Amino acid sequence: MRIGVALLSHESNTFASFPTALSDFQIARGAAFADRYRGTFHEVGGFIAGAEAYGYEIMPLFGANATPGGTVRAAAYEALTAELLERIWGAMPLDGLLLGLHGAMAAEGFPQADGETVSRVRALLGPDIPLFVTHDYHGNVPPQLVEDATALIIYKTCPHIDQRERGLQAAELLTRTVRGEVQPVSSIAKPELVYNIAFHNTNMGPMKPVMDAAIELEGQPGILAASVAAGYQYADVPWMGPCIVVVADGDQDLADREAQRLADLMWSLRDELLPTIPSPAEAVATAIASEDKPVSMMEMGDNIGGGSAGDSTFVLEELLRQGASGWVLALYDPEAVEACAAAGIGAQLTLLVGGKVDDEHGPTLTVEGTVRTLHDGKFIETEVRHGGGRYWNQGLTAVLETSGGLLALNSRRTPPMSLNQLRSVGIMPEQHEIFVAKGSVAPRAAYEPVSARIIEVDSGGATSISRPREDYQLARSGLYEWTRQS
Ligand SMILES: [Zn+2]
């Protein structure tokens, strides 16, 4: 059994000021693609492990992904999908294809880019070759994608720590489908909601009961898979919002009925989706006064894993203004890193930091400090962390010690998914009291183990959780968060 494996993944924030170009993608082909993911906690790691577990020959084709950012350039999207299709064609005959897609890729001209990709792949494969697609829990899934794919499997955890498991699940179902043991039929139901990211944590209400119901459903006779996506509110696309996808064995009515049942459950909890999260000033004051330390602050408006700038200063400004001490904050600022590198370790200097990418992420601030370390920025994470990533590169990084805390200035936008981002540049988390992680839910997998308390912060930026309805033009107009406010 010859199974193709491919990945084309990007979470595109259509509100971000910087588009995503072809050069932003990390691309690997053939054996190098398999080497990058073998043994990792990513879903492609699961696709690869499935070869041994379920007895197929793996044809590693092509993998491309980029740090979340703005809408993907048209030329980049066309180049990536052209290569994907070429490589699938070159590997034919295939018995099936495992395709990892994010679910929230938006390209110029194709706001529902993953739907377009699946449509192109299906056209190439023809109607009969099983095509199993995996998605991030933050996908905005169009019904057409569920029709074109044989089955869609979505991560069940946020922070995402089950990606490998979902890859293996897709691999198992695909092999059973190829052997003719099961006949997947799918149904999608989309509750007409904006599901605010403040409630995406699958370990808490109101999402936990919905996810628990999906997990329970998956164990029922006749059901092959049951998924819940929370959606991705930072993309103005037609199918923005959550969904339920149920895959049944040959029984369309069962799939339809159960998808609708879970959608009704999600809908019934809609009035719990009203965020009340403190401002940077309030959150920093709470962190300073907290008796439970260390505290990790989630800077939600500058969620790098959600495609924001990474150089927001709203929380940093408050830390400085309120005289906080013992804090650690990683900030994207290649210019400041260059200044530190030029001055050298031990140099004292005054720097202008942050707020440089655009005018949505706070003012550029003046800080004084001493350069403590310089590092090339590469690190490895071997534990299960959100995103399943193993090899990381935050670019040349300088640690500047200020009177109140440490600024880790990096030259590549780097989502805070691993504490090794700090350890690798000489920062020992055990020695500090306040961490600022530029993210919403995802950083918890790394930061909860070292934190006595998590404080969320409703800050401004490309991933502000309070974006007004007027900013959306393509999204469906009747979504509940908006209709409730009017
Ligand atoms: Zn996600």
pLDDT of 486: 52
Q: Are 256 and 293 contained in the same domain? A: no
Token couple for 443: 């950083």
Distance (angstroms) between ligand 1 centre and the Cα of 442 equals 8
Distance (angstroms) between ligand 1 centre and the Cα of 164 equals 14
R_g of the chain, CA atoms, integer Å:
22
Task: Examine residue 53 and state whether it is found in any structural domain, yes or no.
Answer: yes
Q: Are 301 and 224 contained in the same domain? A: no
Distance (angstroms) between ligand 1 centre and the Cα of 303 equals 11
Give the CB-side neighbour count of residue 38, counting CA atoms within 13 A.
11
Taking 60 as the threshold, does the pLDDT of residue 240 lie above it?
Answer: yes
Q: Are 303 and 382 contained in the same domain? A: yes
Distance (angstroms) between ligand 1 centre and the Cα of 268 equals 24
Distance (angstroms) between ligand 1 centre and the Cα of 351 equals 34
Distance (angstroms) between ligand 1 centre and the Cα of 249 equals 28
* CB count in 10 Å sphere of residue 481: 18
Of 272, 297, 316, the one marking the end of a domain is: 272
Distance (angstroms) between ligand 1 centre and the Cα of 136 equals 5
Distance (angstroms) between ligand 1 centre and the Cα of 398 equals 29
Q: Are 295 and 425 contained in the same domain? A: yes
Task: Examine residue 480 and state whether it is found in any structural domain, yes or no.
Answer: no
Which tens digits make up the pLDDT trace of 73-113? 999 999 999 999 999 999 999 999 999 999 999 999 999 99
Give the total number of structural domains in the chain: 2
Model's pTM, two decimal places?
0.94
Token couple for 91: 């590997």
The residue range of the domain holding 58 is: 2-272
Distance (angstroms) between ligand 1 centre and the Cα of 207 equals 14
Q: Are 155 and 297 contained in the same domain? A: no
Non-local (6+) Cβ contacts of 452 within 8 A are: 290, 292, 293, 294, 295
Q: Are 9 and 111 contained in the same domain? A: yes
Distance (angstroms) between ligand 1 centre and the Cα of 138 equals 5
Around ion ligand 1, residues with a beta carbon closer than 5 Å are: 136, 138
Distance (angstroms) between ligand 1 centre and the Cα of 289 equals 32
- How far, in Å, CA of 385 to CA of 379, rounded? 14
Backbone angles phi, psi at 407, to 5 degrees: -105, 120
Distance (angstroms) between ligand 1 centre and the Cα of 273 equals 18
Distance (angstroms) between ligand 1 centre and the Cα of 235 equals 13
Q: Are 239 and 185 contained in the same domain? A: yes
Q: Are 254 and 133 contained in the same domain? A: yes
Task: Examine residue 477 and state whether it is found in any structural domain, yes or no.
Answer: no
Distance (angstroms) between ligand 1 centre and the Cα of 76 equals 22
Taking 90 as the threshold, does the pLDDT of residue 481 lie above it?
Answer: no
Distance (angstroms) between ligand 1 centre and the Cα of 295 equals 23
Q: Are 419 and 379 contained in the same domain? A: yes
Task: Examine residue 162 and state whether it is found in any structural domain, yes or no.
Answer: yes
Average pLDDT of 27-54? 97
What rounded mean pLDDT belongs to the chain?
A: 97
CA dihedral 27, 160, 135, 436 (to 10 degrees): -70
Q: Are 382 and 260 contained in the same domain? A: no
Q: Are 256 and 295 contained in the same domain? A: no
Average pLDDT of 159-176? 97
Token couple for 439: 């993210």
Q: Are 232 and 337 contained in the same domain? A: no
Taking 70 as the threshold, does the pLDDT of residue 271 lie above it?
Answer: yes
Of 219, 249, 272, the one marking the end of a domain is: 272
At residue 474 the predicted structure's pLDDT band, cuts being 50, 70 and 90, is very high
At residue 388 the predicted structure's pLDDT band, cuts being 50, 70 and 90, is confident
Distance (angstroms) between ligand 1 centre and the Cα of 251 equals 30
DSSP 94: -
Distance (angstroms) between ligand 1 centre and the Cα of 420 equals 20
Taking 70 as the threshold, does the pLDDT of residue 445 lie above it?
Answer: yes
Distance (angstroms) between ligand 1 centre and the Cα of 431 equals 30
Please report, rounded to a whole number, the percentage of residues in the chain having pLDDT higher than 90. Answer: 97
Task: Examine residue 251 and state whether it is found in any structural domain, yes or no.
Answer: yes
Of 240, 272, 304, the one marking the end of a domain is: 272
Task: Examine residue 465 and state whether it is found in any structural domain, yes or no.
Answer: no
Task: Examine residue 483 and state whether it is found in any structural domain, yes or no.
Answer: no
pLDDT of 485: 59
Task: Examine residue 472 and state whether it is found in any structural domain, yes or no.
Answer: no
Place of tokens 């110029």: 108
